[in-house]
Every structure is written in structure tokens, then in C-alpha cells.
Amino acid sequence: MIEDKNQQRTSLGNLGEFGLIEHLTHDITTAQPGTLKGIGDDGAVLDFKDKKIVVSTDLLVEGVHFDLAYMPLKHLGYKAVVVNVSDIYAMNAKPTQITVSIAVSNRFPVEALDELYDGIKLAAKSYGVDIVGGDTTSSQKGMILSITALGEANAEDITYRSGAGETDLLVVTGDVGAAYMGLKVLEREKEVFVVNPQNQPDLDAYSYLIERQLKPEARQDINGILKALELKPTAMIDVSDGLSSEIIHLCRQSGVGCNLYEEKIPVDPQLINVCEEFNIDITTVAINGGEDYELLFTIAMEDFEKIKANPNFTVIGHMTQESEGIHLITRANTKIPLKARGWNALQEE
């Protein structure tokens, strides 16, 4: 028998609410100069001087947004922070603090919450944000996790979804679609495991996809790169629900149309192989998959020179007059209207 190192199970009831908060937060320190008071009082106290404050919240519900059967708690904690700081980066702002609220049933031992907080603390460190508060309560069933991120920016640097112009270029960072196929691979392995628990999956061929699903990173680097290029996007959004649905958000809020070119959409070679294996259309996954946490933005045409040789960026299309609509131009040069199917719709197929 293999000893399970996580065998120790301390019941939440042993600690009580205040004991648990103390247990989870006693080693949290703050590093942002703007954090005047973090955890420990009725409220945190923050100083943003002459900066504007950007705030974003996400709520994650077990069984709806995550499945602990293939999402280790440490990864869940990490990802929950990433999702939030990604929203702050998408405003062209710098994340500075987060609050963390959890509701858990007594099915979870203290050790499980330690793992969750290991992930949260690791992400907070890697994105340079202070954990300045939160709330801890019980739930009847399952786990609910909500994180709020705060960030700062100069007023003139903030990018909204609404700023895209009719002739702007559409640009995406990194590659898209991998996180969705990572989930498909994990779901398949879970089914195999149910039938044959002895089976040790060989996941090498899927490593990038699984990493994109389980340990996504927000594009912490892009704000600095844009600044160095003296480039301010006209509009920006992060890719959480899928390229297609994010493009539609930018278009609707900016009052423009868009042509997205299928042949330009950046995908990883591993995604191409796995889509073949699963017999799924690569472009469908790339535009509808979601959870990529890349940044999607528009720039004025005359700024093309600034990004054209930069490996972080791919121009995937251009905006048009609103009356022209929002289309995917396929490799065969046909025009298909883009639909916001997003993450959930794709799951139901």
C-alpha cells in the first residue's frame, strides 16, 4: 500500500471560523506600498495616491466552474487568482491587492484548504498582489470561491472595451484554444480512470494543453511591452469565454464590425495534433474554447509597425463599419457570421 501523504484530515469543526481564518492567513504579509492595513481589522486600508482604481470580481462554484476530480485544490487557488488579475491587465492596469472569500462544506478537511491557499498565495506572490482580506463561511454542499482584485492605473492608460475604431487592427497575444482541449483530455482520462483505476495515463503529448487548463497564467508582461512600444490599444479585453465572444463584446461596445481571418488565428502545434486525434475542428476550438487568458486588443492602423516583428502579438483581423457585421473569413475565403457560443455552449454540444 502506498501511504497517502494527504491522509491527515483535520475537521474544520476543530478550528472554528476564527481559528480557521487565523490558520489560513497567519503567514500572509503585504508588500505593496499602497497597502496600509491588510488582514486583521474590519476593513483593509489602501492608498492609491493619484491613480485610478480598477476593481474586478469572480465567483467560482464547485460543479459549475470547476471539478475537483481533476482540478487539484492548489491549482484551483492559483487559477482563481489568475482569472482576476487577468481582468485587471485587460484594463491596462496593474493588479495590487486581492480579497479571497470562501464557503466550504465540512466535507473538506483543513488540509484541503491549506492546499487551496498554497495556490492562492503562490499566485499572489507571482503576480505581486497583496491578500488584504476576505470572508470565510460554511456551505451546505461543495465549495464556493470568490476573489476580488484591485488594481491601479493612470487615468489616460486605462483601456475600455468601447474604444475600437472602424479601421483598427485586431491583435491577440499568445495562442488560443489550448485550455479547452486540455479540459477535454482531462475529462477523457477521468472516464478511463472510472473504468480502469489501475491505468496510469501517459499525458506527455498533452502537457501544454493540460498546463493551459490547470495552471493558466495571466499576461503580466503585456502592459510593460505595450508601454515600451509606446502603444496604447484603442480597446482591450481578456480571452476568458473564447475569442469569438470577446470579439463580439469589443464590436458591440465600440459600435464597429470585424473581419477575423481563420488562417491568422495562432494555435499551438500540440492543439493541432490533439484536435486531429479527437476529430474536432481546430478553428471551432480556437474561437469558442475560452479560458486562454490571453489579451485581445485593437490598435490604430498606423501603429502596425510597432508590433509587426513582435512574437508576442498576432494580427488576426481588422475592424470594419458596424453595418458590415462580424465575420470569420475562412481559409476557403467564405464569410461566416461569428456567434458568441462561448464556453458553456460548446460544452453542451
Contacts 24+ apart (CB under 8 A), 183-186: 183/213, 183/291, 184/274, 184/278, 184/280, 185/209, 185/210, 185/274, 186/70, 186/210, 186/213, 186/214
* Region near Mg ion per CB under 5 A, out of 58-66, 131-139, 171-179, 207-215: 131-139
The identity of residue 242, as a single letter, is G
* Region near Mg ion per CB under 5 A, out of 132-140, 175-183, 189-197, 282-290: 132-140
* Residue 47, Cβ density class (10 Å: 0-12 exposed, 13-18 middle, ≥19 buried): exposed
Binding partner selected for residue 21 from ligand ADP, Mg ion, none, CB under the kind-specific 5 to 8 Å limit: ligand ADP
Mask 92-131, x = binds ligand ADP (CB under 6 A)? --------x-x----------------------------x
Binding partner selected for residue 100 from ligand ADP, Mg ion, none, CB under the kind-specific 5 to 8 Å limit: ligand ADP
Please state, in angstroms and rounded to a whole number, the distance separating the CA atoms of residues 73 and 113: 8
Binding partner selected for residue 42 from Mg ion, ligand ADP, none, CB under the kind-specific 5 to 8 Å limit: ligand ADP
Query: Closest CB to ligand ADP belongs to which residue?
Result: 133
Pairing label, strands 295-299, 169-173? antiparallel
- CB of 6 vs ligand ADP, minimal distance in Å: 21
| 57 annotated to a ligand binding site | yes
Pairing label, strands 45-46, 35-37? antiparallel
| 334 annotated to a ligand binding site | no
Looking at beta carbons only, is 100 or 164 nearer to ligand ADP?
100
Please state, in angstroms and rounded to a whole number, the distance separating the CA atoms of residues 236 and 218: 14
| 135 annotated to a ligand binding site | yes
Please state, in angstroms and rounded to a whole number, the distance separating the CA atoms of residues 223 and 297: 12
Q: Which helix (H) or strand (E) holds 220?
A: none
Please state, in angstroms and rounded to a whole number, the distance separating the CA atoms of residues 6 and 22: 21
Instruction: Return the residue of 22, 135, 221, 281 that touches Mg ion, per CB under 5 A.
Output: 135
| 290 annotated to a ligand binding site | no
| 99 annotated to a ligand binding site | no
Residues that bind Mg ion (CB under 5 A): 135
Query: Residue ranges for the binding site for substrate?
Result: 65, 291, 343
Q: Which residues are annotated as a binding site?
A: 42, 56-58, 65, 87, 117, 134-135, 161, 238, 240-241, 291, 343
Residues binding ligand ADP (CB under 6 A):
21, 24-25, 39-42, 100, 102, 131, 133-136
